[in-house]
Structures are given as C-alpha cells and as structure tokens.
Amino acid sequence: MSEDGERPVEGRLIGGRYRLAERIGSGPAGTVWRARDEHDERDGRDPAENRAPSDRGDARIARYVALKELRLTGEPADEERQRAAHRLLHEARAAARVDHPAAVAIHDVLLDGELPWIVMELVTGESLHAALAARGPLPPAEAARVGLAVLGALHAAHSVGIVHRDLKPSNVLLEAGGERVVVTDFGIGAAQPEPCGGDFVAPECGEGRGAGPASDLWSLGALLRTAMASAEGPLAPLLAQLCATEPEARPAAADVAEALAEAAGASLPEWVTAPPAPTPPAPTPAPASVPPSGTAPEPRRLTPLAALGLLLAKKPERD
C-alpha cells in the first residue's frame, strides 16, 4: 500500500481488469485484496472453488483472485522508490516460475499508476499464524505434514534459482476444507529495502552474508518450532540440525523430507524418490564425407605442372 495518502477502496478497477471487492489481509510487504477478474464471464462459480490454472485444467485466470498491492515508501518521483518498484516487479515475475501444488500460483504482475500489483490464485482459508493463535500448537505429525508441503514448495523454488528469504507462519496458508498447504511471497517480502531480521530469518541473512537455499531450511526449522508446543519429540533431532548456525552444517532437503515424512506417516514426495534426469550425451562428431555406395569417386584433378610431368614420363625414349 502506498504511503502518499492515497488508499485504494472497494470497487476500484486495477489494470483495467481486476475489480477490488474486499481487503483480506495486510502486512509489512503490502495489502491483499479479494478481487473479481472482469474478463472472466463464468457466472455462478463459487469463489471458494478457485484454484490455480494447472489445477483447473485450463489456462484462464479464476473469476475471483487475490490481488496484492506491494508497499512502497517515499514520494512517487523519488529515484529510490522507482528502483524499489522495478525490483519488486522483477522479484514477482521470477516467483511466477515456481510450479508446485504448495506454492501459490501467480497469474499476472502489473503496474497500476506507479504501484506494482501481483495477481494470484485466491486461497480460501487462514494463515498458519492465525491458526496457531486461534487453536494453539499443532501435534508433531500435523506439523510434520505442513512442513513437508512447505519443503516441497521451497525445493521447487530452489530448483529454478528462487530463494524465499521470508518464510514465516503468516506466509503459509492452510486451505479451508482440505489438506492443501500453500506458501506465498516467494522472495517478494524480502525484496523490500528493510533490514533483514526476525525470529524466522537465518543468522547469515541477519549478518549480511546473503541468503541461499540453506537459509530457507533454517526458517523452516524455526517455523516448525513455532508450530509445535515443544521442540521435543520425533522431530527434535531434525530441528537441532536445521537450526545450525552455519549453512553448510544443515541437512540437505532430501534428508529433511525423509525425517518429516516419517514423523507425518506419509510417503516420500516424488521429487525425493524420482531418479535424476539423465545427462544428455555429448554430441558425436560428424563422420568424414564418404561417397555413396556404388558411386565412382570423383577423378583427381591435376595441376598443369603435374600433368606435364606425367606426359614426359610416358614419352618413349629415342634410339
């Protein structure tokens, strides 16, 4: 949300397409709205049934979407603010490449005026933060199930070079009436020009050493510790490894998946069990040109000097 005094209101049309319906959330990175896609005419659809395009079997955007207005500070003409807007657009477009059932689907990224907006699938439910506040900690098996889904989304992001950098309970959604867990804000919240810190931020990020995939795993460990009443129990050894100070001391994602699947009583995800894609063979050098079978070779062409020498050699000697 902008801080120049202008606040969008219900009914405003964004990007000439998305009609704001109601505010459904707000945080340091921006405000999330429920909006109607006015280019989609599928009347009578229940908004609670919305899914990402890959889940619906077609490429059209859901009639109701979640619209995130990214927060920017400063005056619209400020160079720093303009750079921040460009950086946020870049981060959002990169995040759209993350393809996993537990990663929120990003349908569109646009500018309305000078403010960046992200069009996402609408997930009807509540955040993990709200669930913990309302009903208390999760049993270890349920926490492991949530963690396994989150880990799958992180692995998909890391596979395309995206680091979340802002994983926390408020960025994990629990879909109502189902088992789906959805991770939001891949790299977007941390793209803000704010100091890196907080209970869910890895030590190396807080120290300015930069964030990598292992930083997200540290944040996953912090999230699991928060989700459970105690760090004791079947996940205790895993949590101790995930909270290692040095990134290289933390376990690999596949090892984390094995521990979480065992605690959740679930099967290992496919990305752990599937064999790695074979490395394509090196190209074979093209063979030397050979005349087709049955074709007489082209006669050798002689230079004039060579032809003269051959003629002299065949001339008979005189008595």
Among 37, 40, 99, 166, the active-site one is 166
Residue labelled with tokens 């496919």: 270
d(CA 183, CA 158): 14
Close Cβ partners of 53 (under 8 Å, ≥ 6 residues apart): 59, 60, 61, 62, 105, 107
d(CA 260, CA 252): 13
In the annotation, is 166 catalytic? yes
d(CA 167, CA 222): 9
DSSP symbols for 175-243: ETTS--EEE--TTTGGGSSS---STTS-HHHHTTS---HHHHHHHHHHHHHHHBS-S-STTHHHHHHHT
Q: What size, in residues, is the chain?
A: 319
Per the CB < 8 A criterion, the answer to whether 180 and 146 are in contact is: no
125-127 β-sheet, strand order: 125-127, 172-175, 181-183
Task: Considering only the C-alpha atoms of the chain, give the largest distance between any 2 of them, rounded to a whole number of Å.
Answer: 125
Per the CB < 8 A criterion, the answer to whether 269 and 257 are in contact is: yes
On the CB side of 4, CA atoms within 13 Å amount to 12
Catalytically annotated residues? 166
